[in-house]
Chains A and B, each alone.
Chain A
Amino acid sequence: LAKTTQPISMDSYEGQEVNITCSHNNIATNDYITWYQQFPSQGPRFIIQGYKTKVTNEVASLFIPADRKSSTLSLPRVSLSDTAVYYCLVGDPGGGYQKVTFGTGTKLQVIP
């Protein structure tokens, strides 16, 4: 199982771009990288997924270098509502994401 390592916490001011990096040194060939967001009293929510290079959607961008041993979630111009815990996961969609382990996540605090 690919283990992930992320910073425990980060602070950012409103309006700034936030980059959260995740290390996954033993990622397997079929694994994709998925990021989730969790607000208090809610289940984690899918944000973005990628395999390599760059993926962008309406919420975030995901940057994955060629060796795929790390990834960076980029949140543009954060607001107070982006305060949450962000999890990086590595898993195989073809395997139904079975036996995927959540790490500690990164607690992002957005400051006014």
Chain B
Amino acid sequence: DAGVIQSPRHEVTEMGQEVTLRCKPISGHNSLFWYRQTMMRGLELLIYFNNNVPIDDSGMPEDRFSAKMPNASFSTLKIQPSEPRDSAVYFCASSLKGSRFGYTFGSGTRLTVV
């Protein structure tokens, strides 16, 4: 298995533009998580899905952020409009209910909003 795949690895965009981050979880995993990491706030859970259904989005900072999981093999995190304070590394992770190996994280997307 190729692991959790995120794209793009790096994204630089201008303030006000729409940004879409993509994630392909490990095949067979039934939970998917979006995290954001900054120096100031560490790793923050934004939203998680169970069997493609959003379960808890209380970590999503504002209405500018939205996430979807149209099927078991794909998820997106969208920021519209983007702001400089959204600059961070965004990680996607997946897990299998009952697994003894926790989360598997992707390599992350480094977002810079200028």
User: CB within 8 Å of B: which residues of A?
Assistant: 32, 34, 36, 41-46, 49, 87, 89, 91, 93-105
Find chain A residues with CB under 8 A from B95 CB. 96-97
Q: With the chains together, A94 CA to B105 CA distance in Å?
A: 19
What are 8 A-B contacts with C-beta separation under 8 Å? A46-B102, A46-B104, A93-B99, A96-B31, A96-B97, A96-B98, A102-B45, A105-B42
Residue of A43, A49, A102 with highest tally of chain B CB at under 10 A: A43
Q: Which residues of A lie under 8 Å from residue B56 when comparing CB positions?
A: 98-99
- Which of A87, A96, A102, A103 has the largest number of chain B CB atoms within 10 A? A96
By a CB distance below 8 angstroms, the chain B residues around A103 are 42
B residues touching A (Cβ–Cβ < 8 Å)? 4, 30-31, 35, 42-43, 45, 48, 50, 55-56, 91, 93, 95-108, 110
The answer to whether residues A93 and B42 also contact, given A43-B91, A98-B48, A98-B55 and a CB cut-off of 8 A, is no
Nearest residue in A to B51 (C-beta to C-beta)? A96
Contact of A43 among B98, B99, B101, B106 (CB under 8 A): B106
Q: Which residue of B lies closest to A51 (CB)?
A: B100
A-side contacts of B106, CB under 8 Å: 43
CB of B103 within 8 A of CB of A44, answer: yes
Contact B103–A97 (Cβ < 8 Å) = yes
